[in-house]
Amino acid sequence: MNTQDVYILAIESSCDDTSAAVLLNDQVLSNVVASQKIHEEYGGVVPELASRAHQQNIVPVVHQALSKANIDKKQLSAIAFTRGPGLMGSLLVGTSFAKSLSLALDIPLIEVNHMQAHILAHFIKEKDTPKPEFPFLALTISGGHTQIVKVSNYFEMEILGETLDDAVGEAFDKSAKILGLPYPGGPLVDKLAREGNPKAFPFPKPKVQDLNFSFSGLKTAVLYFVQKQTKFQSNFIEENLADICASIQYTIINILMDKLKKASNITGIKHIAIGGGVSANSGIRKALKDGEKKYRWKTYVPKFEYTTDNAAMIGIVGYYKYLDKDFTDQGVAAKARFSL
Ligand code: KG4
Ligand code: ZN
């Protein structure tokens, strides 16, 4: 073992995924994620159930991460954990666990901001995946977040715009729910949209100032539209499902791309990195790729495993903070609202 080698155990429990990862420097040795299926039957994440499931999952998930990485906990250099933002009850489980383990092993504790982690996930060492160059714009889109961030350095980040209400993932999931699709509906809308006409049913785009977003109006527009159409034709949804999905997705992509173009024009930055679960969307990926030709952008999409909620992204932030000796003391508390 090189004396410079840093082993980080990372823990993520901000929403409904319990995850633990082990990193050797900027390389992932293991990344275990236990997704909570329980929420599917409720059509969304139930905070109390999420917290209880984290309590059940955390010990086996950490064990599995250590054994997959083939290291003993005595070899760890530090423990990194998600301090926030997220659901309080969920964050508390990971925070308390990380604090106790760091105390027991007598190694440093490192707090991580979940949003910073979604961005720095691009710096996990991967074959054939180039790392973005500073400065770049990060578009973080998931079930809980929608942000455009100017990233000047690892820890120099400025939020240029964010959602004023629902996140992009919620726009997908709530619209899907109106159409009778199971939770989470995002991937299904994506799949159905491929067979549909994106211009079949125009939905209004919100008028939001600056680089901010608003998505709550879209689900209402979808609801009213569907209610009106089914009055005339009871099987309207079944008959037009692919076209409705394609139209919803087209509207969402336009909203995102408009703001991204604006952000790129204002800052003069053409390097764009996306992250978060919604970055799996095939229409969004295509629109970004098109931007490479149309606007001379250089775009970065991390491996899917590192775009949805996972502990490896917490670990990479932990690694850079470890190099800076940026440690946290035992007095640290979870923070549900935690800005960049
Ligand atoms: O990052 P993530 O796993 O968890 C957080 O919300 O933080 O993101 C989950 C979100 C859900 O809203 C899900 O519907 C959406 O990502 N999603 C998609 C696709 N795959 C996942 N939305 C649209 N198209 C997809 N292919
Ligand atoms: Zn997230």
Within 8 A by CB and 6+ apart from 232, the residues are: none
Burial label for 13, CB within 10 Å (0-12, 13-18, 19+), is: buried
- Per the listing, tokens 């715009």 go with 161
How deeply is 122 buried, as exposed, middle or buried, from its count of CB atoms within 10 A (0-12, 13-18, 19+)?
Answer: buried
pLDDT of residue 38: 82
283 ligand 1 Cβ < 6 A:
no
The CA 118 to ligand 2 mean position distance, Å, reads 7
pLDDT of the chain, 340 residues: tens digit per residue: 566 899 999 999 999 899 999 999 999 999 999 988 888 888 788 898 999 999 999 999 999 999 999 999 999 999 999 999 999 999 999 999 999 999 999 999 999 999 999 999 999 999 988 999 999 999 999 998 999 999 999 999 999 999 999 999 999 999 999 999 999 999 999 999 999 999 999 999 999 989 999 999 999 999 999 999 999 999 999 999 999 999 999 999 999 999 999 999 999 999 999 999 999 999 999 999 999 999 999 999 989 899 999 999 999 999 999 999 999 999 999 999 998 8
How far, in Å, are 44, 73, 125, 215 from residue 140 at the CA level?
Answer: 20, 32, 20, 15
CB-ligand 1 contact for 277 (6 Å cutoff): yes
Question: What φ, ψ does residue 326 adopt, rounded to 5°?
Answer: -95, 85
pLDDT, residue 1, reads 58
Residues with CB under 5 A from ligand 2 (ion): 142, 309
84 C-alpha to ligand 1 centroid (Å): 19
Q: Is the CB of 12 under 6 A from ligand 1?
A: no
Residue 287 identity: A
The residue whose C-alpha atom lies closest to atom 20 belonging to ligand 1 is 187
